[in-house]
Amino acid sequence: MSFGLARILVVDDDISFLEQMPDILEGFGEIDCFPTIDQGLSAVTSKFYDVAVLDLNFENEQRTGLDIFRRILSLDRGVDVIMITGETDPRRIFDLVNAGVSRFIPKSGSIEEIRQQVRSILEERSVRRQALEQSMAKNGGGALIGRSKAMNRIREQINHVVQSGVRDILIVGETGTGKEVVARYIAAQADNSGRFLPVNCGGLNENLIQSELFGHVRGAFTGADREKKGIFESAGGGYVFLDEIGDMPLSQQPKLLRALQERCIQRVGDVEERAVNFRTISATHVSLKRAVDDGKFREDLYFRISKEIITVPPLRERVEDVSELAIYFLSKHSKRCTITEEATLLLQSYSWPGNVRQLESIIGSAAIRSDGVIRPSHILRVLPELASLCSVQIKRAVVGSYGIQLINQEKQRFQNAILEANGDRERAAEILGLPRSTFFRKAKELGLVRTRRQRSMDFEESSTH
């Protein structure tokens, strides 16, 4: 059986045993072997592991496999641990079980026993992973939709950050572009346990944000009747998603910076610091560089959270993905509904100021109004401003009661921009706030240009009146 990208950690001071493990577990995945406890712990903080195989006793070492077991679970709650032991004392075995060890391999165990234990864990994890993927797909976080060059570049970046183990990632993009979808996709690709803890940095007041991020002890403040773990402590090696980090109060940013630098937190009302293990994905729709210049965001924090920056493009810059997105949203909102090619072309002609989030809303509303097939007329009912952007072929069929007035208004808007730019199409596009390619396509549909290579715009006779 092949387990693909499964990662297995082996920590044992028996060098001979370590040398055999890659052969014993061949075909199960990536195998990392270390002879010391410290090397094993360091590996856990830098990688996600599915299985850890640990020796119970190490020579010339006060710590035992049980110590490393406890430490591993504090660093990464997503790993399954197998303990190798020659222990026969029932009391000692009870202590191990009481500590949470549930899988054992006897020191004299056969190769097949080792393989069977690992195989069993990976099969169980595979079932859990499938359930997780189904849940994510149902909630819109299971995949990146679209095959445009822009989306393929994002996939390449994600593959890079997953393989390189970058621990702090920044996602930037306009509101509604799908930054959280990208963040969840990263977490799902990197961590087979799919741990993802979101926190809205702009949605918490200053009194609550410390408790949410770092936790608190009982009696720390009025209403704190029990202790609480914060997001960073609860992550257990997984991802914390710091959404809208650009809106975090300036007064709270030094505390966040320290947690990121030291991987260490202090609960509200506590005097002790706690070592924690987590990875972060931050997201923002504002320019953090501008916020730094304006004194609203710490420069050192910006550099800390942006070890890798992923930019999610607005939908208007990847309109070729509209068709695939529309079909995907239909599968979420109305599995029996379809959309015509003409309706899709109509959607692709829009500038989508609300980005992917707006498209999903429009598809959902159009599906409700349709009879099982979304046609251009259904799109226009929920987005009437699209009538002004219809191609000549679609106009005759769908403008209907909306009349020609909206088309003439859009045409006049383009004409005014062209006149203001003295016929310079690039300048006219800037005036309208449109990408050059989008401007040219719409101007051509409105009958305002004849060929792409013209240096000046040829107007219809009506534009001179």
CATH for 335? 1.10.8.60
Q: Name the band, by pLDDT with cuts 50, 70 and 90, for residue 89.
A: low
Pull the structure tokens for residue 243.
């959404």
Same domain, 29 and 128: yes
DSSP 252: G
Helix axes of 355-369 and 322-333: crossing angle, nearest 10 degrees: 50
In 100-158, at which residue ranges do the beta strands (DSSP E only) sit?
104-106
Same domain, 192 and 86: no
- Higher-confidence residue: 350 or 138? 350
Mean pLDDT computed over 376-397: 68
Same domain, 443 and 371: no
Check residue 62 and give its pLDDT.
Answer: 86
Look up the CATH number of the domain holding residue 412.
1.10.10
Check residue 406 and give its pLDDT.
Answer: 53
Q: Is pLDDT above 80 for 138?
A: no
In whole numbers, what is the pLDDT of the chain averaged over residues? 83
Worst-scoring range by mean pLDDT, 150-159, 184-193, 391-400, 429-438? 391-400
296 inside domain: yes
d(CA 17, CA 24): 10
Same domain, 279 and 362: no
Last residue of a domain, one of 313, 340, 363: 313
25-32: long-range contacts at Cβ-Cβ below 8 A with a sequence spacing of 24 or more?
Answer: 25/114, 25/115, 25/118, 27/1, 27/2, 27/3, 28/3, 28/115, 28/118, 28/119, 28/122, 29/3, 29/4, 29/5, 29/122, 30/5, 30/6, 32/7, 32/8
225 inside domain: yes
14 inside domain: yes
1 inside domain: no
The range of the structural domain enclosing residue 321 comes to: 316-398
Check residue 465 and give its pLDDT.
Answer: 40
In 248-321, at which residue ranges do the beta strands (DSSP E only) sit?
264-265, 274-275, 279-284, 308-311
Check residue 389 and give its pLDDT.
Answer: 54
Look up the CATH number of the domain holding residue 24.
3.40.50.2300
Same domain, 157 and 304: yes
413 inside domain: yes
2 inside domain: no
Same domain, 341 and 251: no
Worst-scoring range by mean pLDDT, 48-57, 134-143, 194-203, 218-227? 134-143
DSSP 268: B
d(CA 14, CA 84): 11
Same domain, 162 and 304: yes
pTM above threshold 0.85 = no
215 inside domain: yes
Q: Is 280 in contact with 168 (CB distance < 8 Å)?
A: yes
Q: Is pLDDT above 80 for 412?
A: no
Mean pLDDT computed over 166-180: 95
Q: Is pLDDT above 90 for 257?
A: yes
Mean pLDDT computed over 71-84: 86
444 inside domain: yes
Same domain, 13 and 49: yes
Structure confidence by residue, pLDDT tens digits, 445-463: 666 765 444 333 333 333 3
Last residue of a domain, one of 72, 100, 132: 132
Q: Is 301 in contact with 253 (CB distance < 8 Å)?
A: yes
Same domain, 326 and 301: no
Q: Is pLDDT above 60 for 396?
A: no
Q: Is pLDDT above 90 for 394?
A: no
Same domain, 162 and 280: yes
User: 114-128, 406-420, 433-447 — which one is most confidently predicted on average?
Assistant: 114-128
Count of domains forming the chain: 4
Characterize 163-196 residue by residue with b for buried, 16 or more Cβ atoms within 10 angstroms of its Cβ, and e for exposed.
eeeebbbbbbbbebbbbbbbbbbbbbbbbbbbbb
Last residue of a domain, one of 398, 420, 436: 398
Same domain, 327 and 374: yes
Same domain, 153 and 44: no
